[in-house]
Structure 1
Amino acid sequence: MELSVREMELSLKQYQLHKINELLVFVTQFNEFYKEKFRDICLPIQTMDDFRKLPFTTKEELVQDQQLYPPFGRNHCYPETSYVRYHQTSGTSGKPLKILDTEESWNWWRDCWVEVLKSSGVTNRDRLFLAFSFGPFIGFWSAYEAAKKMGTLVIPGGGQSSKERLYSMIENRATVLLCTPSYALHLSEVLRKWASIYHRRRSEPSSPQESRGDRCRQRGSKLKHAGERPCTIMPG
């Protein structure tokens, strides 16, 4: 029997409520942080309105918990030996928050990025340049893992200056650039200045052996054409 739109909406909400209760029961059993935070909550919750009344968790709470219970705090559900990845926030708004991932949760991160790359038209025929530091900030680590899963060639740009990254992209004919939007704009400005200086210093302006940097500038490139194929700029 075919369900009406209203019946499908109710069915979806019931399913959502069921999954929320599963999660709440799990964390209140195995996560010491949430066991304390939700100690006065009666489970299972009965409606989505009940769910909306649950207290928010802030970054400040989690950072404070890690300070009280170093080094990783109590916001984890498995033994420490189950975790395989460590990352932390940038620390721009205070003390960095440490984050642990199991193999399962890390693969979820990776698979999310697989969808991002595929929806942007990236395939295993591309050459993907990652312009980030490869430090403890999570940044594009998951994008790197996703590209590997897709069979896409990954060119790392960690530990390089902006000029070195541009040179690597041009020399290796990268077709996809992954970086933050602000850094993409910075790279385009560096490329514009670099190409202009290089052009003025050439002794043979009409020489067929012109630099790749000049060719990028002549195309009006803003890192849209880092090599010979269009370059996709992914927001971070």
Structure 2
Amino acid sequence: MQAIIETLFDIVYLSTVILMGITMIRNSNGNKQYKLFGIMAVSLGLGDAFHLVPRAWALNTTGLENFTAALGIGKFITSITMTIFYIILYYVWRLRYDIKGKHNLTISVYALAIARIVISLFPQNAWTSATPPLSWAIYRNIPFAAMGILVIVLFYQSTKKANDIAFKNMWLTIVLSFAFYIPVVLWGDVSPLIGMLMIPKTCAYVWTVLIGYNEMKGLKKHKEAY
């Protein structure tokens, strides 16, 4: 039953975010914000596929224990693409609210992203091991969480200041994604039920993509009406 439910969920999720991303790229019509949003969505879907596809295959064949290396490599790739996801989201924020300058802020975002990627490259992460150390999972997620908090604050402040109705919940989607993700990092190996939090975490990311997709769709309808 778990194999069927997870596989169906993953197919729907990956298909949805990738198709929405491609649609946004194709229909951006020179709008850099929507094109970036589309690239972000495609990166999210393709990156997660490296982990979710081997996991679905394992669940429907000989079991997760026989796909340790593939799942570990998939998690490593996903950790990189998720870092890129937040860099792109940062630039979506800059474009949407016409942010100029703030070079120190940009340097901070890149510094945190580089720190996350560099830590992820250390062999001590033991990505292909059946029992990777929890300590290194925490180390590599510290700069990642800091990136998330930074983007949360930026969107929260900007949406309030600009009274941006379309993006008013953007900060909340990121809060929810981390709220579901952090327990999985800390206690996912202790209980399978905690691991199930990855499903609502994934739904939070779909919500993030939907915000940009729906806003672009609404704007297109508005232009067609006039």
TM tier relative to shorter chain: under 0.3
* TM-score of the pair, normalised by structure 2: 0.25
Which has the larger Rg? 1
* TM-score of the pair, normalised by structure 1: 0.24
Q: Which is richer in strand?
A: 1
**Which has the bigger relative contact order, CA under 8 A and spacing at least 6?**
2
